[in-house]
């Protein structure tokens, strides 16, 4: 069973797929609701304090905005821990969404820089692409050591 | 109106750990922060319609929420726009949303860029101003001072008091702020004495400035109000420009204010300053180093040429160093004084005036508006003639006395 980092980390669907195929998802799964009443699209379910942006200094320098560093304090350890990663590019908001484009760029870079298997996929736009999308994820997960499917 | 509802449009405050500070600042002025409730479909539609092609989804969300507010799909009393400091993408959105809301609605807006160190104390005056505009629009519409009232401005550098009767200033008091209450008492004594009236005769008292709560309680003031709305009112009153648009610039001892005013009521404003190097405090230090009184710095600067001395007072320490170096290299006190004025004006121009819409007339107020060199430097940067009304140094006290007359019994 491999620890698989997911991007977007908020995607419940991805998280579920990874678990179904016998691996351990590294994600901050928070369901995006139909109506948004929180400050951001992937508002954290936990209390972040001003200490978190300081912890984020491990992944982003002090001149990087505090919001990026605060996010990295959550996602940075997940990336460090990951044994594989799935990146979905240009996903729909409802699939899973991360609010800050700069953090997203940094996350993808840090994942790709690590010497781990990475599946880079475009978000499907129709049913046909959707079927191939799931199949590609399944193939990737099966190829990882210890996959159960 | 009891609880003011402030709509928050933001990117990053939760992950910066400062959302709690924003909520606390709002709660301190009996206001409530809320996030306009919109659908995911609204984000796509509104964002496409707005036309600013940003990449961060939370900024797209902020744009969609701004459109919902302007189009009246969500009701609010005021808007607070906040994004991370040093994020260029967010800075563009922040400015454009502020302008969009200001131009398309009557909602007062304030924008702020935070770091993880932002505290509720830093945000308090801004929140207070937002709620004052929402709550006291009728009071702020007052254009004439009536009866016998007094206004006290307890500022970080100086304390000012003004006594007014039937729309005329009849007494003033001014002194450097030391012990807050003692300075206020002394300024009040000066103003009452000059006006030839006693405390008991006053029909209403207003206080403003950093020490407004302490002094207000001490004087049993009828009105205790932050300096953003009060100064706007005082500025347009003294300048005789109560109707229509105007821009008020107040370079203070500790922070600076730039306010876009419409009919005497602030629409958008910025408050702050990155460092004391962009405040009146730096000019005080310059005067001290040049061995002249602060009142002589303006005329001295008028005789100098700022371009002869390289100076950037982004930081007060390095600014002072530039000043010392220039003098040691043989620069004239006139040129150094002019350079100091230009440096302060340039920073206010670059860091604050970019966040408000400059509309004529531009009115400079506060003690620093009496430093002619500073006004000239600002005129050069803005390419416009700046109005400095008589009694401009008493702006907060005048605004306070004017607004306090709304509290006279029977008013």
- Report the candidate in B235, B190, B348 with the shortest Cα–Cα distance to residue B283: B348
Which residues neighbour B245 within 8 Å (Cβ) at sequence distance 6 or greater? B260, B261, B262, B359, B360
- Does B79 reach chain A within 8 Å, measured CB to CB? no
End-to-end CA distance of chain A: 11
Helix (H, G, I), strand (E, B) or coil at B263: coil
For B153-207, write each residue's pLDDT tens digit.
999 889 999 999 999 999 999 999 999 999 999 999 999 999 999 999 999 999 9
Return d(Cα B346, Cα B309) in angstroms, integer.
14
CATH architecture under which domain B4-135 falls: 3-Layer(aba) Sandwich (3.40)
What does the block give as tokens for B8? Answer: 């928050």
Residue-level pLDDT at B212: 95
Which of B37, B39, B85 shows the shortest C-beta gap to A65? B85
Torsion over CA: B186, B190, B192, B193 (sign): positive
User: What percent of chain B has a predicted confidence (pLDDT) above 90?
Assistant: 55
Q: Which residues pair with B152 in a beta bridge?
A: B161, B207
Name the minimum distance, in Å, from the CA of B349 to any CA of chain A: 23
Cβ B101 vs Cβ B7: under 8 Å: no
Residue-level pLDDT at A30: 45
* Domain coordinates in residue numbering, chain B: 4-135, 148-228+395-407
For B99-123, write each residue's pLDDT tens digit.
899 889 989 888 888 999 889 988 8
For B264-274, write each residue's pLDDT tens digit.
888 888 877 55
When the pLDDT of each residue in chain B is averaged and rounded to a whole number, the result is 90
Name the minimum distance, in Å, from the CA of B73 to any CA of chain A: 14
Q: Are the beta carbons of A102 and B87 separated by less than 8 Å?
A: yes
Cβ B49 vs Cβ B32: under 8 Å: no
Which of B17, B54, B57 shows the shortest C-beta gap to A49? B17
User: What percent of chain A has a predicted confidence (pLDDT) above 90?
Assistant: 64
Residue-level pLDDT at B57: 92
The residue of chain B with its CA nearest to that of A97 is B57
For B16-31, write each residue's pLDDT tens digit.
989 999 999 999 999 9
What does the block give as tokens for B131? Answer: 């709620």
Residue-level pLDDT at B252: 83
Rounded to an integer, the average pLDDT of B311-318 is 72
- Does B85 reach chain A within 8 Å, measured CB to CB? yes
Which of A36, A51, A67 shows the shortest C-beta gap to B15? A67
Cβ B337 vs Cβ B286: under 8 Å: yes
Name the minimum distance, in Å, from the CA of B240 to any CA of chain A: 42
For A12-71, write each residue's pLDDT tens digit.
889 999 999 999 998 876 444 444 556 676 665 556 788 889 999 999 999 999 999 999
Cβ B313 vs Cβ B279: under 8 Å: no
Best to test chain A binding among B6, B9, B12 (most A CBs inside 10 Å): B12
ipTM of the predicted structure? 0.86
- Does B82 reach chain A within 8 Å, measured CB to CB? no
- Does B88 reach chain A within 8 Å, measured CB to CB? no
Helix (H, G, I), strand (E, B) or coil at B249: strand
Residue-level pLDDT at B220: 96
Which residues in chain B have Cβ-Cβ distances shorter than 8 Å to A11? none
Phi, psi for residue B8 in degrees, rounded to 5: -100, 125
* Domain B148-228+395-407 bears CATH identifier 3.40.50.1110: no
pTM of full prediction above 0.95:
no
Residue-level pLDDT at B271: 79
Q: Are the beta carbons of A40 and B19 separated by less than 8 Å?
A: no
What does the block give as tokens for B240? Answer: 């005789």
Binning chain A into helix, strand and coil, the percentages to the nearest 5 are 45, 15, 40
Which residues neighbour B164 within 8 Å (Cβ) at sequence distance 6 or greater? B145, B148, B149, B150, B151, B170, B398, B401, B402, B405
The β-bridge relationship of strands B204-208 and B148-154 is parallel
pLDDT beyond 50 at B379: yes
Residue-level pLDDT at B136: 86
Contact pairs from chain A to chain B, CB under 8 Å: 126
């Amino acid at each position: 069973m491999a620890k698989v980092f997911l991007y977007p980390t908020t995607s419940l669907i991805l998280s579920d797929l990874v678990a179904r195929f016998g691996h351990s998802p590294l994600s901050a799964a928070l369901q995006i609701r139909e109506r948004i009443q929180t400050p951001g699209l992937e508002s954290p379910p936990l209390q972040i304090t001003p200490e978190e942006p300081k912890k984020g200094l491990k992944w982003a320098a002090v001149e990087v905005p505090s919001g990026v560093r605060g996010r990295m304090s959550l996602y940075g350890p997940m990336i460090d821990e990951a044994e594989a990663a799935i990146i979905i590019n240009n996903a729909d908001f409802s699939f899973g969404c991360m609010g800050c484009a700069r953090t997203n760029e940094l996350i993808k870079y840090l994942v790709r820089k690590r010497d781990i298997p990475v599946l880079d996929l475009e978000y499907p736009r129709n049913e046909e692409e959707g079927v191939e999308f799931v199949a590609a994820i399944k193939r990737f997960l099966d190829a990882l050591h210890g996959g159960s499917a | 109106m009891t609880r003011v509802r402030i709509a928050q449009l933001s990117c990053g405050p939760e992950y910066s750990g400062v959302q709690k500070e924003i909520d606390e600042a709002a709660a301190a002025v009996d206001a409530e922060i809320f996030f306009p409730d919109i659908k995911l479909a609204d984000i796509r539609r509104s964002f496409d319609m707005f036309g600013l092609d940003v990449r961060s989804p939370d900024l797209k969300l902020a744009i969609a929420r701004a459109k919902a507010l302007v189009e009246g799909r969500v009701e609010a009393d005021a808007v607070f726009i906040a994004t991370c400091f040093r994020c260029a993408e967010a800075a563009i959105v922040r400015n454009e949303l502020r302008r969009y809301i200001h131009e398309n609605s009557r909602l007062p807006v304030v924008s702020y860029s935070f770091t993880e160190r932002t505290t509720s104390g830093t945000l308090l005056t801004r929140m207070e101003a937002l709620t004052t505009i929402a709550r006291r629009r009728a009071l702020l519409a007052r254009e004439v001072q009536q009866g016998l009232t007094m206004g006290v401005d307890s500022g970080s550098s100086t304390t000012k008091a003004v006594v007014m009767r039937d729309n005329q200033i009849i007494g003033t008091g001014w002194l450097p702020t030391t012990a807050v209450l003692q300075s206020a008492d002394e300024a009040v004594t000066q103003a009452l004495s000059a006006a030839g009236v006693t405390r008991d005769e006053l029909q209403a008292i207003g206080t403003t400035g950093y020490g407004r709560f302490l002094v207000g309680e001490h004087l049993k003031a009828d009105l205790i109000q932050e300096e953003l709305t009060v100064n706007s009112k005082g500025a347009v009153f003294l300048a005789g420009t109560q109707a229509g648009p105007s821009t008020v610039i107040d370079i203070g001892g500790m922070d600076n204010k730039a306010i876009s005013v419409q009919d005497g009521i602030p629409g958008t404003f910025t408050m702050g300053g990155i460092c004391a190097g962009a405040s009146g405090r730096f000019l005080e230090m310059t005067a001290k180093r040049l061995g002249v009184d602060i009142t002589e710095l303006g005329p001295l600067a008028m005789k100098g040429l700022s371009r002869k001395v390289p100076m950037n007072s982004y930081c007060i320490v390095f600014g002072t160093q530039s000043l010392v170096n220039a003098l040691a290299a043989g620069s004239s006190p006139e040129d150094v004084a002019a350079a100091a004025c230009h440096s302060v004006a340039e920073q206010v121009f670059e860091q604050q005036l970019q966040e408000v819409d400059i509309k004529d007339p531009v009115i400079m107020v506060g003690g620093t508006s009496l430093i002619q060199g500073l006004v000239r430097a600002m005129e050069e940067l803005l390419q416009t003639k700046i109005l400095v009304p008589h009694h401009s140094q008493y702006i907060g006290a005048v605004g306070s006395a004017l607004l306090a007359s709304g509290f006279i019994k029977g008013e």
